Amino acid sequence: MSQRRFEPASPGAAVPTTALSMIDARVAATPDRPALRFRRGELWQTLTWRDWDLASRRLALGLRGRCGVAPGDRVALCADNCVEWALADLAIARAGAISVPIFPTVTGAQARAILADSGCVAAIVDQGERVRRLLAAEGPALTLRHLILTGRDQRGPGLEGAGAVGVTVTDLDTLDEDGAGAGADAWEALDALGAALGADDEFTWVYTSGTTGGPKGVVLSHRSLCHECWAVGHAVAVSARDEHLMILPLAQIFARHMLWGSIAWGAVTSFGGGPQTLEDDLQAIAPTFFAGVPRIYERAYNRIETDIRLGGALRRGALEWCIDVGREVSELRRRGRTPAPRLAARHRVAERVLFRPIRARFGGRLRFCISGGAPLSREIAEFFDALGVLILEGYGLTESCGAAHVNRPDRYRFGTVGPALPGVETRIAVDGEILLRGPGVMRRYHGHPRDTAAVVDDQGWLHTGDLGMIDDGFLRITGRKKDIIITAGGRSIAPQMIEKRLASVDGIAQVMVYGDRRPFLVALVAIDEAVMRALAEREGLSARTHAELARHPRIRQVVQGHV
């Protein structure tokens, strides 16, 4: 039977004061250990901590010299996940500037609105097409002076309009060359700038819909980032022996604290080739931990369930027996008990037949996974635990700089988001709202003082807008304060719990529950096309397209049975 071993970090370590103090400490401690791995075609390359630091210093000098970026300026990052994202993020901080991440999937108009609201003087972009959409979009006037491509090979159609609006185009390769050729005075000035940086200086503005209204810039300080990285490091045992594959979009705060947390912990961050090479990347990297949103685990769960169901009766029966054995052992383990010899023997068989091959799909070294960003189905967490894959669910907001609660490898309860992180206070208000307080709480919403006051009170409590309850220190999320449905009979219902339960069903992709001021609830259900097509083929149904599947009486019968 597989054994889980975790070594929590020592609680005596000091909290870093700035993002730069984290990387400086890491480079001093382990300069030549791997820090970043990234894929170039079929080949993997590695940067050490010293490499990452020096490359970012050169880029910072280029930002200051060629682009005139000054301390306090905002610089946008709009790119798919890549190693250049990590280099540029650190370079922006080295220059004393403030990073403004933008999801690469937003429209040109949305990106323009963020750039204008934040007053960015430069933007780092990975595709000329994104530049074209941005420049073509209507919207507020921009303060943008420089567009910086992630590489010279990104130059191409779409850049012609930049000069007409007073924007110069360059690339990270050119900035790197500028930095490499900078004189000693420039390097000394860069060091002095970093030394002058304080914990309360602003590190990043992250745009989010927030707990009130439309998109707003959440202003987070160096203190917020450093506390987050330190606290997660104490809660989850990650060290220089670990490596993770970055699949979360780096414009998301969850991904940012995994990237910067890896600096604090000494863990390796790997960048693969995207969704199309995910399976190959997992085999090549063999990560020891993995961070994702619930949808990733739901898809993996549905795929495994479908594989089992499509097998012959004998194979299906054997695999279901394995899962039952795994669930029994998982339940005993959570109670702190050891399986009896007969059960342990059955579990060894299940390990060989099913569990080990499934874990091999993730590279074979996985110690645990982290889930955040949305509620994770308890059924899915228990299912993977039965297979020997522990998923630790956490909870937080952009306004709290990411995680505020997380389950621990040696202390977890499925269906909860775990205890509070060190340094985080949690309180449940009279109306059930979750309130958070601690160093991670944002400084403000940029340009929205009233919204800031509505969310962070004068005692420093962040009003999350989420509903929850605390049992023996473990926080359970029960719904959203604004999403409560009041039926015609006056009953208050949190739709998220129903939606989460239905969304965990194999064959259902998305669910929305509605019923405000009505005598009954209605669920709008989107089917999982792949699962339902497999069902149609298995039962000889005539439906083939997504629309035909959704209308077919048999498919509707299956969905209605779950509803």
Name the token pair of 351: 């390990």
d(CA 239, CA 300): 27
Of residues 190 and 141, more confidence is placed in 190
173: confidence class by pLDDT, cuts 50, 70, 90: very high
Q: How many CB atoms lie within 10 A of CB 492?
A: 10
* Average pLDDT taken over every residue of the chain: 89
Domain ranges, ordered by start, for the chain: 19-197+246-270, 295-483, 485-562
- Residue 251 has a pLDDT of 95
Q: Does this chain's domain 19-197+246-270 share its CATH topology with 485-562?
A: no
Query: 12-16, 43-47, 131-135: lowest mean pLDDT where?
Result: 12-16
**Which of 360, 373, 359 lies closest to 292, judged by CA?**
373
- Residue 82 has a pLDDT of 95
Name the token pair of 245: 């594959």
d(CA 440, CA 437): 8
CATH code for the part of the protein at 19-197+246-270: 3.40.50.12780
- DSSP category for residue 418: -
pLDDT, one tens digit per residue, over 292-314 is: 998 889 888 988 888 887 777 88
d(CA 190, CA 226): 21
Amino acid at 117: D
Name the token pair of 6: 């975790």
pLDDT, one tens digit per residue, over 239-281 is: 999 999 999 999 999 999 999 999 999 999 999 988 788 889 9
Mean pLDDT score, 317-340: 93
Q: How many CB atoms lie within 10 A of CB 163?
A: 10
pLDDT greater than 60 at residue 45: yes
d(CA 6, CA 233): 12
pLDDT, one tens digit per residue, over 438-475 is: 999 999 999 999 999 999 999 999 999 999 999 999 99
d(CA 551, CA 40): 45
- DSSP category for residue 157: T
pLDDT greater than 50 at residue 344: yes
Within 287-400, residue ranges assigned H as helices are 294-310, 313-334, 341-350, 356-361, 378-386
Task: Describe the crossing of helices 529-539 and 553-562 by its angle, rounded to 10 degrees.
Answer: 120
485-562: what fold?
Answer: GMP Synthetase; Chain A, domain 3 (3.30.300)
What architecture is domain 295-483? 3-Layer(aba) Sandwich (3.40)
556: confidence class by pLDDT, cuts 50, 70, 90: confident
- Residue 330 has a pLDDT of 93
Q: Specify the pTM.
A: 0.84
Of residues 152 and 305, more confidence is placed in 305
- Residue 8 has a pLDDT of 40
Query: 143-147, 463-467, 489-493, 519-523: lowest mean pLDDT where?
Result: 489-493
- Residue 516 has a pLDDT of 62
d(CA 411, CA 435): 23
* Contact (Cβ atoms closer than 8 angstroms) between residue 209 and residue 229: no
Q: How many CB atoms lie within 10 A of CB 160?
A: 12
* Contact (Cβ atoms closer than 8 angstroms) between residue 306 and residue 314: no
- Residue 4 has a pLDDT of 44
pLDDT greater than 90 at residue 480: no
Of residues 176 and 152, more confidence is placed in 176
145: confidence class by pLDDT, cuts 50, 70, 90: very high
